[in-house]
Structure 1
């Protein structure tokens, strides 16, 4: 009898503990689910031109809430996509709204950015929002490569590669003589004498101290995992000289231009008579007075004035 009574007391104690645990769990669920807004698509990534669905779910305690979708660009500017129960003008015909999602029929690069599903209920006293990031994948354009044609041995030289169309942003590789250059020159026997660094994100190839062995034909390639990577064209031959050949050539050209201007100036001065012509004495002929002229005998008299 004592055993049964003890067992009953133990069971009651355990039941009380479990009841308390369940009550705490129920309270936690109610708190976390009360007026909550969530999404099961925190990031949506599609190729340019494809459809996209941005999901938004909210708890039942909102009742019949007001739902709005707002777009935020990377530069901070923002505007509504769905507002006051309708799609805004700039998205009409291309975007549809439902209670659980915002549907893009055909995405364009300008759609890339962050979207916020904003839910307001109970006369505005309760509100919540969920963020969805839309990534519109765009293949890269042909990159532009900035490569010098002649440099001096031992100088620091930076080659640059850039394209601005691809989404997500492109990363870059460099080619010399139609072969990809390793990011670490020490990892390849052919580049052990080079002292360069490659920044794949910035698209730069920097030589701290360029050497004769760095001469060659250079090009760069841009890729972002979307479509086919693009290579700059045409390739550019960079020659490394022991002396500043480029500076010498530029100096010769400047000297020739100066000589040409001097020649033109001298020719112009000569044509205007400022230089190069001898000043000859002017001869003025004067007619003698009538009384000095004999009748029937005309003699010309002249005087010279210098």
Structure 2
């Protein structure tokens, strides 16, 4: 809600859809304060043109500040407080987490095991400037496009923007994008992840992973919490979901129940819930789409 007493609350906003993502530009003069009411399954890449913003994390108690001429990803977790200075203007790319995850896995062949995080950097130079200019051009082209052209343009720009986002900017997944493993992670953690990848279809306990890594279960859990932001078994679940998604898209799955059981999901219903949360569609829907695509290609 506006927090100024200046009496000037003019606000201009424009939104251009880019498939499920969107490009948003905004100008306003009043100070804005907001508290996120629920977790938003979305990543917002914010380019601050003027003014500034702060995001205070409810969980970590840390404050992220983004100044004019900087770009950063904004955490929209429930309870976070977002403050935008008066007379700020910004330009943003809003991407559903499901789209980000699927595109990352398609490009790298590696599971998306961490939430994307881009620290504040200057976007008036270097690769960040290139991404900004691409988004601005996309905004302009989509505004001017006829309805029949918009679908093709939106799809092309989505692919280009996501490739630049992953490959060019210094985000926390940059090393994972290049090598499918984070460079600074401890050797034991990398050994644990290699063991997981080799045992996706086998029953695995936490103790098994710790033994393969050569450390205690407690030490392993601590490393995963610090370097992956999740538990070892949570990361193993992500690996299995990624394997299931690859099997479905690659035409290697005939039965969702059989696929779930083969990847150690004993409850197919729970598997479907986790899969839909990760990829936006149920596994059965994606399986139908994959079969339909194969039929079209074969005709």
Normalised by the size of structure 2, how large is the TM-score?
0.23
Q: Which structure features the higher share of helix residues? A: 2
Q: Which structure features the higher share of strand residues? A: 1
**Structure ID, larger Rg:** 1
Normalised by the size of structure 1, how large is the TM-score?
0.22
